[in-house]
Structure 1
Amino acid sequence: MKMTRAAVAAALAATLAAAALSGCGSSGAAAAKNVKELRYQGWVGQVTPPELAEDLGYLGDVKLKWIGNTISGPQDIQAATTGDIDFGGAFNGAIVKLKANKAPITAVIGYYGADKDTYNGFYVKADSPIKTAKDLIGKKIGVNTLGAHAEAVTKTYLSRNGLTPEQIKQVELIVVPPVNTEQSLRQGQIDVASLSGPLRDKALERGGIRPLYSDFELLGAFTGGSYVLRNDFLKKNPETVKTFTTGVAKAIEWSRTQPRDVVIARFRDIIAKRGRNEDDTQLKFWKSYGVSSKGGAITDKDFSTWIEWLSSTGEIKSKDLKPSDLYTNEYNGLASGGGAQ
């Protein structure tokens, strides 16, 4: 279902109102000093860096509590803002938009990105007449959520290829669950499919589709998303946050330095042990988390790119927000310089 801009704004307002109310109460996690259990949402058939960190023993006595799955980064960080979970991850541009609306959150570590092997590609059927950006006018692009990574990359592609703001508005973004996106493309329900990771590689293995553009082609290697926590949680639980963030950083580096088959075998074991009745066949296509920096350390560029872009579209005012307002490396023991922002 396509959300209108008014609907998105209303949902965001409701999220922030709930966050304000939760801040007045005493949430179970924030009320205690240095809690040892962190609530989070997972992704079906995937092993996230925090899940890997816990399995490797990098979180020490800090435990993760899975409360369900998500298919949307914006939803995940909104849940963190309202206190329904303790940490959430999303595209950095979505974090910028939430922070611009005064959300009391801070990013502490990057957890996904794009490189030559791991990227978000946009595909059409092999016999599709779509060849250029202008061919997308009046067409439908399937993405996992609105207002996030796929939308930002698509609009960057369209604007760089000469489409006017009015023409860009005529390119329709349709929300499709990632596991259904390939099928929707092949059945003609959408004209372009946003595919990444194992789901992309499984689709390519089956054939009959071709690439149109990708985030890596447009932007090169970059860290695309970060984990955020509420500011009150950071203040009350600094040691737990440091253990969590440094543990995730170590897990990212472990995945980078181990043989690929060793990492995949570990993922399979984790999925089997957690017993969520998931299909793990896509794991054979895993290549990397795509994080561009050591241990997920965040840089100004990780956010300035999206501040500038959102400012150019009129969605935020860049003068009201600077990268250092959005993140800290203070809790990341692997970040260069030990705690500088």
Structure 2
Amino acid sequence: MHTSRNPRRRTLITLTALAVTASLTATACGGDSDAATTADGKAKVTVLRSNGAIFEPLYIAQDQGYFKAAGLDVTIKAGAQDTSQNAPSVLNGEAQFAMTDSSGFLKGAAQDMPIRIVTGLQSATTQTDPTDGLLVKKDSAIESFKDLEGKTVGISALGGTIQFICEYLVQKAGGDPTKVKFVALPTTSLTDAATSGKTDAVYSFGPFYFAAKDSGLRSVGNGMNDVPGIVQGVLFSSQEYLSKNADTAKKFIDAVAKAIAYANAHPDAVKAIDKKYTEVPDDFIDAHDINHYDKNLDTTVMRTVITKMHEFDLLDNEPKDDAIYWDQAPTTAGE
């Protein structure tokens, strides 16, 4: 279990070391050379997914043949528990694309890693019920995010979107984010941590969030839906790979876009994937709505996230847009 009120310094040191290692590895291997292909000419692509949620469109693109139709031979692998640590694998060519959340990506961008977001997977919206959020025991005295002052909150990874959203909502409620203690726990252990009293609260998501509520935990607020437009899941690649393989990358994100549309229209397909790749019981998955997926990247909300993360000392600097998005990524400027 990792514990930190403010993990920025440790995170930045780790990311810098990883960036140097990845750069040296890429150089030794010749960098991102032309993409490998199968015997029948399909471009080989490896993508690292998250371990918790929002990865469902990747498997749908595989199952529905969207990747194959685009001339791609795609391998999907589980990435790091802290998805911000997937960047070195992309930089050294072990994978061509990887998942993370917006804040996880920004930690790398703030360290000048040559990576770019290629597409969104999910963003918060008030059009659907929350699929993530803060959870406490029913008899907890915590009624708002302000009440987290002096408390311990369990999250899946330090310094990412979940820690940011907690600090942002604490501040929005009139509290002091510096007075909240965060501990990193495996996603599958969050419910038990809150139920047993190991932590005062936890922040969970996807099927794990619903399972926690069904087990008796109480939600506080509306999770990321309280910040509409915040990007909860993205796919990114290395700048070098994108410059050399733009056609392949465009085919990849177009296939994912088709899968996103299919996922939103076919909840049973999403639930089948959750049953296969998560540890949540089937009956919990069947009883709840799926996430709403969205390829679009709201650059206005992202800029707010960047500014606030810097204010909260979660980012060393504020990366500019041209250091964040691939020029063919589906961006939009919200109000």
Establish whether TM, by shorter chain, passes 0.5. yes
Aligned mate of 2:197, from 177, 184, 188:
188
Residue 101 of structure 1: aligned partner: 111
- Report if the CA contact (8 A) 2:190-2:204 is conserved: yes
- Aligned-partner Cα distance in 2 for 1:291–1:101: 29
**Does 2:123 correspond to 1:113?**
yes
Per-residue Cα deviation, 1:184-241 (whole angstroms, up to 9, x for no partner)? 111110110111111111122222x212233334213543221110011112222221
Residue 339 of structure 1: aligned partner: none
Does the residue aligned with 2:297 lie in a helix, a strand or coil? coil
- Aligned-partner Cα distance in 2 for 1:285–1:243: 35
1:15 aligned partner, one-letter code: L
Give the superposition deviation at 1:74: 1.2
Residue 323 of structure 1: aligned partner: 321
Residue 176 of structure 1: aligned partner: 185
Q: Indicate how the Cα distance of structure 1 residues 330 and 312 shifts in structure 2: closer, same or farther if over 3 A, else same.
A: same
- Aligned-partner Cα distance in 1 for 2:222–2:28: 44
Give the superposition deviation at 1:10: 1.7
Aligned mate of 1:135, from 147, 159, 178:
147
1:193 aligned partner, one-letter code: V
1:317 aligned partner, one-letter code: N
Q: Which ranges of structure 2 fall in alignment gaps of 5 or more residues?
A: 38-42
Superposition map of 1:302-341 within 5 A: 302-314=301-313, 315-318=315-318, 321-328=319-326, 330=328
- Report if the CA contact (8 A) 1:114-1:291 is conserved: no
Residue 57 of structure 2: aligned partner: 49
- Report if the CA contact (8 A) 1:246-1:331 is conserved: no
Give the superposition deviation at 1:278: 6.0
Q: Indicate how the Cα distance of structure 1 residues 78 and 125 shifts in structure 2: closer, same or farther if over 3 A, else same.
A: farther
Which region of structure 1 is more displaced relative to structure 2, 31-40 or 230-239? Answer: 31-40
Does the residue aligned with 1:31 lie in a helix, a strand or coil? coil
Aligned mate of 1:151, from 156, 159, 163:
163
Does the residue aligned with 1:80 lie in a helix, a strand or coil? helix
Residue 299 of structure 1: aligned partner: 298
Per-residue Cα deviation, 1:96-153 (whole angstroms, up to 9, x for no partner)? 2211211000101001222323532001100112223343222110000011111010
- Aligned-partner Cα distance in 2 for 1:129–1:43: 33
Residue 65 of structure 1: aligned partner: 75
Percent of aligned pairs with the same amino acid: 21
- Aligned-partner Cα distance in 2 for 1:111–1:88: 12
Residue 31 of structure 1: aligned partner: 33
- Aligned-partner Cα distance in 2 for 1:127–1:64: 47
- Aligned-partner Cα distance in 2 for 1:311–1:174: 20
- Report if the CA contact (8 A) 1:15-1:81 is conserved: no
Q: Indicate how the Cα distance of structure 1 residues 133 and 222 shifts in structure 2: closer, same or farther if over 3 A, else same.
A: closer
Does the residue aligned with 1:109 lie in a helix, a strand or coil? strand
Q: Indicate how the Cα distance of structure 1 residues 227 and 45 shifts in structure 2: closer, same or farther if over 3 A, else same.
A: closer
2:3 aligned partner, one-letter code: K
Does the residue aligned with 2:66 lie in a helix, a strand or coil? coil
Which region of structure 1 is more displaced relative to structure 2, 276-285 or 136-145? Answer: 276-285
- Aligned-partner Cα distance in 2 for 1:69–1:92: 16
Per-residue Cα deviation, 1:255-278 (whole angstroms, up to 9, x for no partner)? 1123x235434x379x3xxxx796
Does the residue aligned with 2:3 lie in a helix, a strand or coil? coil
1:163 aligned partner, one-letter code: G
1:226 aligned partner, one-letter code: V
2:286 aligned partner, one-letter code: K
Aligned mate of 2:84, from 74, 83, 89:
74
1:99 aligned partner, one-letter code: A
TM-score (norm 1): 0.82
2:34 aligned partner, one-letter code: A
Q: Which ranges of structure 1 fall in alignment gaps of 5 or more residues?
A: 337-341
Residue 15 of structure 2: aligned partner: 12
Does the residue aligned with 1:2 lie in a helix, a strand or coil? strand
Does the residue aligned with 1:162 lie in a helix, a strand or coil? coil
Residue 40 of structure 2: aligned partner: none
Give the superposition deviation at 1:157: 1.0
Does the residue aligned with 2:94 lie in a helix, a strand or coil? coil
What RMSD over aligned residues (CA atoms) do the two structures have, in Å?
A: 2.7
Per-residue Cα deviation, 1:66-95 (whole angstroms, up to 9, x for no partner)? 444433221233432343322111121222
Which region of structure 1 is more displaced relative to structure 2, 19-28 or 171-180? Answer: 19-28
2:321 aligned partner, one-letter code: P
Which region of structure 1 is more displaced relative to structure 2, 218-227 or 5-14? Answer: 218-227
Q: How many residues end up aligned between the 2 structures?
A: 317
- Report if the CA contact (8 A) 1:197-1:286 is conserved: no
Residue 40 of structure 1: aligned partner: 47
Give the superposition deviation at 1:297: 2.9
